Amino acid sequence: MSTDRRTPTDQPLIAPLFHRLVDDAAVFPPGNAALPDAVTAHREHRTAWYADLVGPLLVPASSVDALTALLDPAERLGIGIIGDLPIDRLGVPDDPRVTVRQIEAAAAKRGEDPQPGIARLLALADRLPDVDVYAELPLTFGLLAGLDTVASARANGARVAVKFRTGGLAAELFPTPVELAAVICACRERDLPFKLTAGLHHAIRHADPETGFTHHGFLNVLVGAALAADGGEVADVAEVLAATDAVPLIEPARARRDHPRGLWVGFGSCSMIEPLTDLIRLGLINGGYEG
């Protein structure tokens, strides 16, 4: 069987707009996959026709040693480390089979000053100059000053960016469209890439029938971030983020699919198949053949 992952017209199976859009967060809630199962599934994702959609396997810092014990001798695996340990204890394993592409850690809890945590993360970035470091900032006290600090370090050459939470177990963890739009535009103004985590289960904004929480859609964010990058105002970006109809989002996404995302790095999902299925249903990926 041929392993050629191109269409007869040499179009990419996954357009550049969607490259590495979804990090594999299988071991995190609500999926909570066992680490061996997550590694096995990630191997399958990395060899599937949709492999270009898939970012690194995300692993808690406390589980990195357990991960390396699961790898084959000749295996090579790109991972992202999520900081469930103190920032000062974060690092990369001394194992040639593992490439740490990013480290993500919370700079502060809600209501805390993020600056001390940002300082520790900047020290980490200085210690690991080949790794992207993401400072997760709460959308509360000290946010804009925190963005300024990270942006200044990035402008001076540090491989740092920011990350925001867009969901969780409480309503206040879901930012409104206006709040998220304001943050996206603030990142745009500082030339600061961002990641998102939690709540982005589907492409289009929707209400979860079990919790009643309204979740942001990743296609909304993709189109909204592109609009922001092009100079869109907060109100215009918020309107895109608030849309619950896919129709006005599909064509803007399709028009940009040959271009990289730029401002928005991507998001983690405990399921790789759900985002893929949504993109296929919306006609943005054609089940293995695009173009």
Please give the Cα distance from 279 to 291 (Å, whole number).
14
- Look up the CATH number of domain 16-282: 3.20.20.70
Render pLDDT for 59-69 as a digit per residue (tens, 0 to 9): 999 999 999 99
Give me the pLDDT at residue 201, please: 84
Please give the Cα distance from 189 to 269 (Å, whole number).
27
Residue in 109, 167, 178, 173 with CA at minimum distance from that of residue 141:
109
Write phi, then psi, for 79 (nearest 5 degrees): -130, 160
Please give the Cα distance from 49 to 18 (Å, whole number).
13
CA dihedral over 218, 221, 225, 227, signed as positive or negative: positive
pTM (2 d.p.): 0.93
Give me the pLDDT at residue 9, please: 42
Render pLDDT for 144-178 as a digit per residue (tens, 0 to 9): 999 999 999 999 999 999 999 999 888 889 999 99
CA dihedral over 158, 180, 202, 289, signed as positive or negative: negative
Q: Which residues of the chain have pLDDT under 50?
A: 1-10, 289-291
Give me the pLDDT at residue 286, please: 81
